[in-house]
């Protein structure tokens, strides 16, 4: 077996990245709206990129909720590169953004139908704090948009402050 090591960079996700991510039309529209929020400073939206600049993972942090904390969301790594450490790099970068603002904790939610990400979050120090109902639009194979509803497991992590 051969091993290839590729350096990764983390940068702000930009509108020009959206067509290259392979996401559904509905998700691209939602991501565009989140980039507008990033321009207002309400969120940070990051991309983990290969040396060519191609995003292979992305995610955001919302500073408006919950009160006193921040919420990680839309965390994604392209399927062929999952379980290679990219998600860990992404989450650590988002946590750095949170700490830079002096916010003491991060929250995130994971769809109960998808247990694999929860194992990563728990390995990174997130603990289950409850659950809630979640819903969002998804694109059906026929091009229509349907509403997906599920139960979301909520997780939280206390973040140590940045040290000078």
Taking the domains of the chain in order of start, what are their residue ranges? 9-158
CA distances from 74 to 31, 60, 69 (A): 9, 6, 17
> What is the rounded CA–CA span in Å between residue 32 and residue 30?
5
pLDDT digits (tens, 9 = 90+) for 76-111: 999 999 999 999 999 999 999 999 999 999 999 999
Region 47-75 average pLDDT: 96
CA-nearest of 60, 70, 10 to 36 is 60
The CATH homologous superfamily for domain 9-158 is: Gcn5-related N-acetyltransferase (GNAT) (3.40.630.30)
28-53 tens-digit pLDDT: 999 999 999 999 999 999 999 999 99
pLDDT at 41 (0 to 100):
95
Q: Give the model's pLDDT for residue 164.
A: 61
Determine the Cα–Cα distance for residues 139 and 93; give it in Å rounded to an integer: 30
- Kindly state the average pLDDT of the residues 52-57: 96
How much is the mean pLDDT over the chain? 93
């Amino acid at each position: 077996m051969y091993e290839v090591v590729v350096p990764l960079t983390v940068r702000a996700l930009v509108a020009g990245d959206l067509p290259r991510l392979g996401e559904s039309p509905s998700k691209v529209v939602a991501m565009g709206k989140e980039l507008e929020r990033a321009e207002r400073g309400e969120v940070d939206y990051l991309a983990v990129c290969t040396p060519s600049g191609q995003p292979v993972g992305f995610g955001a942090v919302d500073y408006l909720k919950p009160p006193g904390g921040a919420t990680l969301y839309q965390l994604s790594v392209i399927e062929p590169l999952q379980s290679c450490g990219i998600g860990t790099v992404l989450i650590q970068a988002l946590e750095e953004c949170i700490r830079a603002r002096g916010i003491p904790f991060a929250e995130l939610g994971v769809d109960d139908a998808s247990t694999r990400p929860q194992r990563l979050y728990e390995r990174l120090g997130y603990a289950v704090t409850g659950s809630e109902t979640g819903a969002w639009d998804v694109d059906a194979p026929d091009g229509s948009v349907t509403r997906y509803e599920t139960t979301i497991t909520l997780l939280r992590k206390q973040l140590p402050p940045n040290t000078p």
